[in-house]
Structure 1
Amino acid sequence: MTPATPFLITRPAGKADNLLASLDELGVAYSYQPLITTQQVTLKTKDINLLTQADLLIFVSVSAVHALEQQINPEQLPGHLFAVGSTTAGLLQHWTGREVIVPQDQRSEGLLALPQLQQVTDKQVVVVRGNSGRELIKQQLLARGATVKYVQSYKRLPLPLDGSQLWQMWQQQQVRCIVATSNEILQQLFALIPEAGQAWLKQRQWLLVSPRMQEQALALGISPQHITLAENANDGALLQQIIQLKKEMV
C-alpha cells in the first residue's frame, strides 16, 4: 500500500532543498513534485550596460541571482542592491560581498515601503527577474520619478507532466494539503489536473504565501476555509505553517 503523504510540496527544483531537509528531520511525510523549471537567459550587451549603469538593482528571486552570477562579475553591479526576500538577499550578499537591503514584509509591497525607495526621482532602477511577474514595482517606482528597466536573467518553463497520472498518485498518497508558492504554480496545478480531478483539488487544504495568491485561489473555486497563508515564501515561514497544519490533521 502506498504510504500516506499528507503534504504535497510543489516548489521548483533547487528551491525546495532546505524545506524538504527540515521536513525529513522532523519526520513530516510529504510528496515532492515541482511543476516549473527555470532556464538561464543569455544576457545581451544592452542588459549588461543597464546593470553597470543602474543606481539601484532589485532582485525578485533566487533564480534571478543564480542566473546572473553565471554570466557577470559582481564588480559590474555598482548600484545599491535590493532583494524582495531574505533568501535572495543572502545569496546576493554572499556573491557580491556587499550589503543587500531587504524588507521585513517580503513582498513587492514591502519592498516599495522601504525608506530607501521613497525618493527615487531621476534614479536608474533595474529589476532583475524572469520572463513574467508582477508589474507593481515598476509602476510604483515610475510614479515616483525613477527610470525603470527589466533585465531578464532566466525564464520559467512548465515541466512536461501527466496530470491524470499525478492526480491518481496523489489520491493514493492521501495528499491532504498542497503547498504552492506562486500564482504560476497554482494555475499550473489546475491546468494539469483533468476535469474529473478539479473537485478533488478544490477540497484539499492549501498553504499559500500571499493575499494575492489567496485571491487567485478563491477565483479558481477554492473555499476560504481551505486556505492557509504563510507569512511569506521563505522556508521558515512555510515550515511553521506545515507543522501547525500537521497538528490540526491529527
Structure 2
Amino acid sequence: MSQAKPQKTLTILNTRPSPMGEELQRLLTPQFISHHFPTVTNKAIELPNKAPLKQWLQDSSFAWIFVSRPTAMYFRQLLQQYGLDNFSPAGGVFAIGESTKSELKQFIRTPNVPTQSNQENHSTLQIMTPELSNSESFLTIKQLDDYQSFVQVKGKGGRELIGQSLTQRGKQYFPLELYQREMLQYSSSQVDSWLECDCILATSIDIAKGIFTNLSQQSSRKNIQLLLHKIKWVVLSERIKQFLIDNKIKEEHIFICEESDNSSIINTINLISK
C-alpha cells in the first residue's frame, strides 16, 4: 500500500508593515515558511497647524475615529507631545478593527470623575466598533447620530469616504493626519525570492501597489506573469480584492479575511493550505 505524499509546506510573502508584520511573522514561522517584505512603511508627519486637542477632548459633542492600529499608535505619540499620558475624551470613541481597539485600550481612560468616596474613577471608556472592519460598516453604526463633531485620526492621503459621508449628514468633520505612507523598494534578488511563494498577503491597496511596483521594476515580465497566475492572495476587504482583479488577478485566487487581526489572517491561510 503506497503512502500518501507529505503535504507541501506553504510559503508566504508577508508584506504587513511594522509592528504587525513582525508579530505575524512570529505566528507564521512555526507552521509555514514566511518571508517578511513590507512594501510600505509609515512615517510621522508634523501637523501644519497646532490642533486644539485639549478643547476637543473636553467637548462631549465630539467623537473620535480611529481606522487602524497605526492611527492609535501615532495618536498616542501626539498626546505625549501635548503632555498627556492618557486619552480621556468627554465624547465617544470609535475604532475600526479589534487590533485598533486593543491598541487604544492601552492608553484610553474615562475622564476623572470623583466618586462618593472621593476617589478618582480610572475605568476604561467604552470603544464602539463596527460589525465588519471597514469604513462602509463603520458608517452604519447608529451611535454616530449621538455626536455632532468628529475627529478622524488618519494617514495622509487615506480614503475620504468617512469624511464625505459625515459631512453630507451635516456633521462637523476634522481630519487629523499624523503620518504618511512611503513605499519600500527591494533588489532584484530579493524580489526574485517572491517567486517561490504560494501565497501573498496584501492588507491594503497601498501595499498591493508596492508589490506590483517592485515586481515591475525588479523582475521580468515572464516571471511576473508566472507569479500572478499561480499564487493565492489573502486580503482584508472587497476593495483590495477588486483592485487585484483590475490588475489581472483571477478572482478564484483571492481570499478575504473575516477580520483584520493576525489570527484571522492565519485562519484564512490555513484554509488555503488544506
1:78 & 1:165 partners in 2: Cα distance?
53
2:55 & 2:154 partners in 1: Cα distance?
14
Summarize deviations over 1:56-78 as a string: whole Å, max 9, x none.
10011111111121221235643
The TM-score, its normalising length taken from structure 2, stands at 0.80
Determine the structure 1 residue equivalent to 2:211. 189
SS in 1 for 2:78: coil
Residue 9 of structure 2 contacts residue 32 of structure 2 at CA under 8 Å; is this kept in 1? no
1:65 & 1:209 partners in 2: Cα distance?
19
Determine the structure 1 residue equivalent to 2:163. 138
**CA positional deviation for 1:206:** 0.7
Whichever residue aligns with residue 18 of structure 1, its letter is E
1:96 to 108, 115, 122: 108
Q: Percent identity?
A: 25
Determine the structure 1 residue equivalent to 2:152. 127
Determine the structure 2 residue equivalent to 1:46. 51
SS in 2 for 1:12: coil
Aligned positions, number: 239
1:66 to 60, 68, 73: 73
Gaps of 5+ in 1: none
**CA positional deviation for 1:100:** 1.1
Residue 119 of structure 1 contacts residue 144 of structure 1 at CA under 8 Å; is this kept in 2? no
Residue 191 of structure 2 contacts residue 214 of structure 2 at CA under 8 Å; is this kept in 1? no
- Relative to 1, partners in 2 of residues 1:75 and 1:60: Cα closer, same or farther, differing over 3 Å? closer
Q: How does 1:1-250 map to 2 (within 5 A)?
A: 6-25=11-30, 27-43=31-47, 44-46=49-51, 48=53, 51-52=56-57, 55-72=62-79, 73=84, 74-75=86-87, 77-97=89-109, 98-118=125-145, 120=147, 123-162=148-187, 164-171=188-195, 174-194=196-216, 195-196=220-221, 197-203=223-229, 204-247=231-274
Summarize deviations over 1:228-249 as a string: whole Å, max 9, x none.
11113211211110111111xx
Gaps of 5+ in 2: 1-7, 110-124
- Relative to 1, partners in 2 of residues 1:48 and 1:244: Cα closer, same or farther, differing over 3 Å? same
**CA positional deviation for 1:103:** 1.4
Residue 118 of structure 1 contacts residue 144 of structure 1 at CA under 8 Å; is this kept in 2? no
**CA positional deviation for 1:5:** 5.7
Summarize deviations over 1:15-42 as a string: whole Å, max 9, x none.
12332222234x2221111111111223
Determine the structure 1 residue equivalent to 2:118. none
Whichever residue aligns with residue 165 of structure 1, its letter is S
1:157 & 1:49 partners in 2: Cα distance?
30
Over the aligned positions, Cα root-mean-square deviation in angstroms equals 2.1
2:53 & 2:46 partners in 1: Cα distance?
10
SS in 1 for 2:224: helix
